[in-house]
């Protein structure tokens, strides 16, 4: 069979040299990783923060490329989502999400998301700002400085509660949470992992680290939603990002939806808050204070929990042959020795 030479000494034709392919290992709970390759891209996502009035901040998203992998087994810890505010009307017991960790000797640690801020009904001056974390929790009062801070390289700050009618959204992996003025502050957008080869079945359509939305009171600027249903999620594409945010919307990447409005008695028909999605690090959705008027013992008024984290390891390993059309000298020599020429 005749082949024409190329300028570099190779031959035009099929090259049977195996090309690298990606091996993706995901951890949705604690475990141990054993390598196939010597380096990998490691994505560590912490648990999202629990919500109160303010939305929970997303768990930190830490991406390390070309990370050296030890020959020994690597311990993996997947952080749990933070707990929601339970409603004792005196203090906020919403909690940060838990850290996720890859390795022990030189660990890669993503920081848990900050909890949502809160103003105790029994003591309005005892405001508790949103928690600091991987991404900060949304503000829960009327203080412009009540939002939590994010961690550099992992997430953004929460949104402040700039008005009396609504609370700030939790920060996301790539965007600060929306401020709560007369409308619910949206949750910050999460990180798109698909450019790293992560399939869209992981996270929320391939995104992780979305902030939870902040609660919105019964204000004319808060459009009512269907009774007993979470708020709508609008498409997240294009710019500016804020143009794609509807009231009460959690950030793409598992952020929880917020509750909007509260006509009595014991009803919240304009959107029940939702948890951050599991294994996305999404922050919980904010809601009005349970246990306070007009919600005595009203479960539909509850803020929600943060979503658990995830750890993803992407190795480059030998894969199937690629038909590049260039049959190089090294491949020729190999195939000659194998008698496959």
Question: For position 3, what pLDDT does the model report?
Answer: 38
Rama region for 14: left / alpha / beta (φ>0; ψ in -120 to 50; rest): beta
Instruction: Report residues of the chain scoring pLDDT below 50.
Output: 1-18, 89-91, 218-245, 263-270, 291-300, 320-329, 331-333, 335, 338-341
Question: For position 241, what pLDDT does the model report?
Answer: 39
Q: How many other CB atoms are found less than 10 A from the CB of residue 316?
A: 18
* Peptide linkage before 240 cis (omega within 30 of 0): yes
Question: Any residues with CB less than 8 A from the CB of 80 and at least 6 apart, and which?
Answer: 47, 97, 98, 308, 309
Q: Could you tell me how many helices (H) and strands (E) the chain has, helices first?
A: 1, 12
CA 168 to chain centre: 17
Angstrom distances, CA of residue 323 to CA of 10, 11, 16, 211, 337: 14, 13, 7, 44, 21
Digit-coded pLDDT (tens) for 249-271: 889 999 998 877 554 444 443 46
For tokens 């998301």, name the residue.
113
Domain positions in the chain = 22-341
Q: How many residues does the chain have?
A: 341
What number of CA atoms fall less than 13 Å from residue 226's CA on the CB side?
A: 4
H-state helical runs in the chain: 329-337
Query: Does residue 20 contact residue 319 with C-beta atoms inside 8 Å?
Result: yes
CA dist 209 and 56 (Å) reads 11
CA dist 8 and 279 (Å) reads 49
């Amino acid at each position: 069979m005749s082949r024409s030479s190329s300028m570099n000494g190779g031959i035009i034709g099929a090259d049977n040299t195996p090309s690298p392919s990606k091996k993706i290992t995901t951890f949705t709970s604690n475990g141990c990783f054993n390598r196939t390759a010597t380096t990998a891209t490691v994505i560590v996502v912490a648990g999202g923060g629990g919500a109160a009035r303010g939305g929970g901040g997303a768990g930190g998203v830490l991406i390390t490329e070309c990370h050296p992998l030890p020959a020994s087994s690597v311990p993996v810890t997947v952080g749990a989502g933070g707990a929601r505010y339970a409603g004792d009307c005196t203090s906020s017991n919403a909690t940060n999400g838990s850290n996720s960790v890859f390795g022990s000797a030189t660990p890669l640690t993503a920081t848990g998301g900050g909890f949502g801020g809160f103003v105790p009904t029994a003591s309005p001056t005892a405001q508790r700002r949103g928690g600091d974390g991987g991404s900060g929790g949304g503000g829960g009062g009327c203080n412009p400085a009540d939002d939590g801070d994010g961690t550099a390289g992992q997430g953004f700050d929460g949104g402040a509660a700039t008005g009396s009618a609504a609370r700030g959204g939790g920060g996301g992996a790539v965007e600060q949470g929306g401020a709560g003025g007369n409308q619910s502050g949206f949750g910050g957008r999460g990180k798109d992992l698909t450019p790293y080869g992560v399939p869209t079945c992981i996270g929320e359509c391939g995104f992780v680290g979305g902030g939870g939305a902040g609660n919105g009171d019964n204000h004319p600027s808060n459009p009512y939603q269907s009774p007993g249903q979470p708020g709508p999620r609008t498409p997240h594409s294009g710019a500016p990002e804020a143009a794609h945010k509807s009231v009460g919307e959690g950030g793409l990447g598992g952020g929880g939806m917020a509750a909007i409005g509260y006509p009595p008695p014991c009803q919240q028909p304009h959107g029940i808050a939702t948890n951050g999605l599991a294994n996305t690090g999404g922050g919980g959705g904010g809601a009005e204070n349970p246990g306070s008027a007009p919600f005595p013992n009203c479960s539909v008024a509850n803020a929600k929990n943060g979503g658990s984290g995830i750890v993803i390891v992407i190795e480059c390993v030998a894969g199937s042959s690629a038909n590049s059309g260039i049959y190089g000298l090294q491949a020729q020599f190999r195939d000659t020795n194998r008698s496959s020429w």
